[in-house]
């Protein structure tokens, strides 16, 4: 066991969080309290801090596409991704913002909302072959729809489709239901976890919410950063 001594000075976050240049890569970015809660008052915002928000936005800037579950889109009132402070130079040669890719079976989404109507990079919908035909048509009018799987999204096939569209730097923003399936499918390469210095109890979920992962991935600590008692852990998959 060893103590992690704080290094003096600021870190270059763009360099620290750079995606590997040579392969497709799925990163997840999540926040949890010290007692493992992934929600506070049914949202994740109450767990964060300014540095966490900054990192959340920077990781979007580094990504080619942001995968998120419809549960999170509804709970957090997601709008489209917009350019942010700290993105200078990080998107050179790419679209000004990454599209969102929303996972939904029911397609219970407001296709007239800004997330679809004001997205600079058209929002993608990842859905199943048995989704409601009328809603599927509405989705196709406002979004780039990827159908993968019959009753349940085939995450592996959906990610292949995203990669085929040139999206190699993937960012998953959860929620816990989606992340559990991404991990179960063996698709996760990296977890960025913010540990929030709070003890909450109650009945929130953990950052993965699903059945036991059949083959739990082994992860290696790539770095640990600190800001105002929050920890920013970056774990990558051991191969
Ligand atoms: N702590 C964190 O870092 C963090 C991050 C994100 C979110 N959150 C919080 O977590 C909560 C939301 O998480 P959640 O787990 O309930 O929702 P979620 O994972 O964001 O989304 C779940 C939804 O995704 C769709 N979906 C999931 N699996 C599917 C499959 N196999 N096939 C087709 N569609 C599928 C379904 O959408 P339909 O219902 O539309 O079919 C399902 O209801 C919110 O409270 C949010 O604030 C926390």
User: Is pLDDT larger for residue 5 or for residue 126?
Assistant: 126
Residue 239 has pLDDT above 80, yes or no: no
CA of 6 to the centre of ligand 1 (A): 35
Q: Where are the domains of the chain?
A: 23-237
Q: How far is it, in rounded angstroms, from Cα 224 to Cα 234?
A: 6
pLDDT band at residue 2 under the 50/70/90 scheme:
confident
Are the beta carbons of 189 and 27 closer than 8 angstroms? yes
Answer whether residue 85 shows pLDDT above 80.
Answer: yes
Q: In ligand 1, which atom is closest to the CA atom of 42?
A: 45
If one residue of 53, 176, 193, 196 were mutated to test the ligand 1 pocket, choosing by the most ligand atoms within 8 A of its CB, it would be: 176
How far apart are the C-alpha atoms of 120 and 107, rounded to whole Å?
21
Sheet with 124-127, strands from edge to edge, namely: 144-147, 124-127, 100-103, 65-69, 169-172, 25-33, 190-196, 230-237, 219-227
pLDDT at residue number 10: 85
* pLDDT tens-digit readout, 29-59: 999 999 999 999 989 889 999 999 999 999 9
Average pLDDT, the chain: 96
pLDDT of residue 16: 95
Residue 45 CA: nearest ligand 1 atom is: 47
Smallest Cα–Cα separation from 192: which of 46, 19, 72?
19
**Distance from the CA of 173 to the center of ligand 1, in angstroms?**
10
- Which pLDDT belongs to residue 197? 98
Question: What value does the CA radius of gyration of the chain take, rounded to a whole number of Å?
Answer: 18
State which of 34, 49, 70, 194 you would mutate to test the pocket of ligand 1, scoring each by most atoms of that ligand within 8 A of its C-beta: 70
Residue 4 banded pLDDT, cuts 50, 70, 90: confident
Atom index in ligand 1 nearest the CA of residue 37 equals 1
Percent of all residues in the chain with a pLDDT value above 70, rounded to a whole number = 100
Q: Which residues pair with 144 in a beta bridge?
A: 124
Say if residue 8's pLDDT is above 90.
no
**Threshold 0.85, pTM exceeds:** yes
Which CATH topology does 23-237 take? Answer: Dihydrofolate Reductase, subunit A (3.40.430)
Burial zone of 192 (CB within 10 Å; 0-12 exposed, 13-18 middle, 19+ buried): buried
């Amino acid at each position: 066991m060893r103590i992690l001594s704080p290094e003096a000075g600021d870190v270059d976050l763009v360099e620290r969080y750079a995606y590997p240049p040579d392969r497709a890569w799925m990163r997840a970015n999540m926040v949890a309290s010290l007692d493992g809660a992934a929600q506070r008052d049914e949202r994740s915002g109450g767990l964060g801090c300014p540095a966490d928000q900054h990192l959340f936005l920077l990781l979007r800037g580094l990504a080619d596409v942001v995968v998120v579950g419809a549960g999170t889109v509804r709970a957090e009132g997601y709008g489209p991704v917009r350019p942010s402070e700290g993105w200078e130079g990080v998107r050179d040669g790419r679209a000004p913002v990454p599209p969102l890719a929303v996972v939904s079976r029911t397609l219970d989404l407001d296709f007239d909302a800004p997330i679809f109507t004001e997205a600079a990079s058209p929002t993608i919908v990842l859905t199943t072959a048995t989704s409601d035909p009328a809603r599927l048509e509405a989705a196709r009018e406002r979004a780039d729809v990827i159908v993968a799987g019959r009753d349940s999204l085939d995450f592996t096939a959906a990610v292949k489709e995203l990669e085929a569209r040139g999206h190699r730097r993937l960012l998953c923003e959860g929620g816990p239901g989606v992340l559990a399936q991404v991990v179960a499918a063996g698709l996760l390469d990296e977890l960025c976890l913010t540990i929030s210095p709070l003890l909450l109890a109650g009945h929130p979920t953990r950052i993965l919410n699903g059945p036991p992962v059949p083959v739990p991935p082994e992860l290696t600590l790539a770095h640990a950063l600190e800001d105002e008692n929050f920890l920013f852990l970056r774990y990558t998959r051991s191969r």
